[in-house]
């Protein structure tokens, strides 16, 4: 059935010479495809092209597929515009593929980016945004050197990423690989993410996320949160991360919430399993005292409730002695946290590795290395 759809699809080619600006040509081709009564395909050929800020918006009359074979390059200057470069919006039955590259040309912008240090900053464009797309398949695409987040997903339903590559230097700020939030039913499969911030970050309102076969590093690991920075945040539920590898990341598997949170939501049903660690700092971390650059009041405990969290079959090496840190809120101690078969080795001079607990009493299954809740636990039961 799929083969028949592709065969019968109307094809709109973006024809332009290498090095030219294809913004208007792509917009024209997409508009025609979107109005087609049958499934259609937009093809960007091999070559290198300039692409300005563009929003490709539905609803469309039938499914649309965009095949990027070449490389599209953003403006490489540091000018601050809208918080977007390429936006795919309100399309039902959307495909993006082709083996091509979105080059965000972020190098000059990173030097002036201070958004990781202050609320008061000028936003840089996210490379690729998916806003309210449904039944979407993203595969065989590379995002290179984004100025801000590489990929941002909001309001999506039933969306799959497969064989996506994200590439930026370890020192590039705020270049989260794939950020998802307020969506239902997202899969991120068999992908490679090397960047300067979280490889995958999960925002509020995310339901039913499945991450499998992802290689992460460098970067800040795989993070749920931060949660609680803003008011009116929505609950997070049904997060599964399995069969992944983290290499040389600043954090591993992390859940982070703000103290003095602006809302009182719940994050639950979060499962990490079968994870390989290679020199990962802070391999397992629940941090309900997340307060970068002292932007909050640490004296007020986090009002974000964490429940039904499981770390199973996590093994490898740690880059520091803090192998496991479960720092839960004294206002809302973590509930039903399970630690099963953990084997994390650390060979530094300040060793051995430690396992710290605060305001949580984890359920222990199988073996734990390091020994669970060593180094003076402060456990609050309820």
- Of 158, 176, 209, the residue at which a domain comes to its end is 158
For residue 129, give the 3-state DSSP assignment. Answer: strand
141-157 pLDDT, tens digit each: 999 999 999 999 999 99
CA–CA separation, 315 vs 278, rounded Å?
9
Q: Which of 307, 213, 216, 226 is nearest to 262 (CA)?
A: 226
Quickly list DSSP for 158-200.
EEEEEEEEEE--TT-TT--SEEEES-EEEEEES-EEE-SS-SE
Strand order in the sheet with 222-227: 54-57, 86-89, 128-131, 151-154, 178-181, 200-202, 222-227, 253-257, 284-287, 322-327, 354-358
In 346-382, which positions are buried (b, 16+ CB within 10 angstroms) versus exposed (e)? beeeeeebbbbbbbbbbebeeebbbebbbeeeeeeee
318 lies in a domain?
A: yes
Residue 296 lies in a domain: yes
Closest residue by Cα to residue 194 from 162, 170, 210: 170
pLDDT tens profile 257-282:
999 888 899 999 999 999 999 999 99
Residue 30 lies in a domain: yes
pLDDT at 1 over 50: no
pLDDT band for 378, please (50, 70, 90 cuts). very low
Specify whether 77 is located in the same domain as 224. Answer: no
* Shared-domain flag, residues 150 and 204: no
What's the domain range around 47?
8-158
pLDDT at 117 > cutoff 50: yes
Residue 36, pLDDT > 50, answer yes
274 and 154 in a common domain: no
The residue-averaged pLDDT of 123-149 equals 97
Quick one: 268 and 140 in the same domain?
Answer: no
Examine the domain organization and report whether 44 and 123 are in the same domain: yes
Question: pLDDT band at 377, cuts 50/70/90?
Answer: very low
The string of pLDDT tens digits covering residues 44-86 is: 999 999 999 999 999 999 999 999 999 999 998 766 567 899 9
8 A C-beta contact, residue 204 and residue 227: yes
Which of 130, 158, 186 is at the close of a domain? 158
Spatial distance between the Cα atoms of 48 and 345, rounded to a whole number of angstroms: 46
Q: Residue 184 has which token pair?
A: 């239902």
pLDDT at 256 over 60: yes
CATH number assigned to the domain comprising residue 103: 2.160.20.10
Read off the pLDDT of each residue in 3-9 and give the average, rounded to a whole number: 48
Q: Is residue 22 part of a domain?
A: yes
Query: What CA–CA distance (Å, rounded) separates 337 from 341?
Result: 14
CA-based nearest residue to 245, from 307, 315, 178, 175: 315
pLDDT band at 4 (very low <50, low <70, confident <90, very high): very low
Of 139, 158, 177, the one marking the end of a domain is 158
Which residue, among 99, 101, 98, has the nearest Cα to 86 in the 3D structure? 101
**Region 159-176: what's the mean pLDDT?**
97
Q: Is residue 174 part of a domain?
A: no
* Residue 381 confidence (pLDDT): 35
CA gap 110, 108 in Å, rounded: 6
Regarding whether 215 and 95 lie in a shared domain, the answer is no
Q: Is 37's pLDDT higher than 60? A: yes
Q: Is residue 177 in a domain?
A: no
Residue 171 burial (10 A CB sphere; 0-12, 13-18, 19+): exposed
- CA 242, CA 105: separation in Å to the nearest integer? 32
* pLDDT tens digit sequence for 290-314: 988 777 777 889 999 999 999 999 9
Q: Are residues 202 and 152 in the same domain?
A: no
135 shares its domain with 263? no
**Beta carbons of 314 and 275 less than 8 angstroms apart:** yes
State the Cα–Cα distance between residues 3 and 186, nearest whole angstrom.
24
Please state the domain count of the chain: 2
Q: Does one domain contain both 222 and 366?
A: yes
Measure the CA–CA gap between 83 and 90, rounded to whole angstroms.
18
Let me know if residue 380 belongs to a domain.
no
Active site residue 210: no
Do 115 and 46 share a domain, yes or no?
Answer: yes
Lookup: tokens for 33: 């495809």
How many helices and strands in the chain, by DSSP H and E? Answer: 3, 29
Among residues 80, 116, 150, 220, the one annotated as catalytic is 220
In a domain, 182, yes or no: no
Q: What is the pLDDT of residue 119?
A: 61
Judge whether residue 6 has pLDDT over 60: no
Whether residue 344 sits in one domain with residue 276? yes
Same domain, 262 and 132: no
């Amino acid at each position: 059935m799929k083969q028949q759809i592709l065969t019968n699809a109307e094809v709109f080619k973006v024809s332009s010479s290498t090095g030219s600006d294809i913004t208007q040509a792509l917009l024209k081709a997409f508009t025609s495809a979107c109005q087609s009564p049958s499934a259609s395909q937009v093809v960007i050929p091999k070559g290198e092209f300039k692409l300005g800020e563009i929003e490709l918006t539905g609803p469309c009359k039938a499914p649309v597929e965009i095949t990027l074979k070449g490389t599209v390059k953003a403006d490489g200057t540091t000018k601050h515009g809208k918080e977007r470069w390429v936006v795919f919006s309100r399309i039902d039955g959307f495909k993006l593929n082709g083996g091509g590259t979105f080059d965000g040309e972020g190098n000059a912008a990173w030097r002036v980016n201070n958004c990781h240090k202050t609320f008061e900053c000028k936003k840089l464009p996210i490379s690729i945004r998916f806003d309210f797309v449904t039944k979407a398949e993203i595969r065989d695409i590379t995002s290179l050197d984004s100025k801000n987040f590489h990929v941002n997903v909001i309001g999506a339903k039933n969306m799959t990423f497969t064989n996506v590559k994200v590439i930026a230097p370890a020192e590039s700020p705020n270049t989260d690989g794939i950020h998802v939030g307020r969506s239902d039913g997202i899969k991120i499969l068999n992908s490679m993410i090397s960047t300067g911030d979280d490889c995958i970050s999960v925002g509020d309102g995310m339901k039913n996320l499945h991450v499998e076969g992802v290689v992460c590093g460098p970067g800040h690991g795989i993070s749920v949160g931060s949660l609680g920075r803003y008011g009116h945040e929505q609950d997070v539920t049904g997060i599964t991360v399995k069969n992944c590898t983290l290499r040389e990341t600043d954090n591993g598997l992390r859940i982070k919430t703000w103290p003095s949170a602006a809302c009182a939501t719940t994050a639950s049903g979060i499962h990490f399993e079968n994870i390989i660690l290679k020199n990962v700092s802070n391999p397992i971390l629940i941090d309900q005292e997340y307060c970068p650059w002292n932007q909050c009041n640490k004296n007020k405990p986090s009002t974000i409730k964490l429940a039904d969290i499981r770390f199973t079959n996590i093994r490898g090496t740690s880059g520091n002695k803090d192998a496991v840190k479960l720092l839960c809120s004294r206002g809302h101690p973590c509930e039903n946290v399970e630690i099963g078969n953990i084997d994390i080795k650390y060979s530094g001079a300040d060793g051995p590795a430690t396992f710290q607990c605060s305001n949580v009493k984890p359920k222990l299954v199988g073996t734990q290395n390091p020994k669970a809740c060593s180094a003076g636990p402060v456990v609050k039961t309820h």
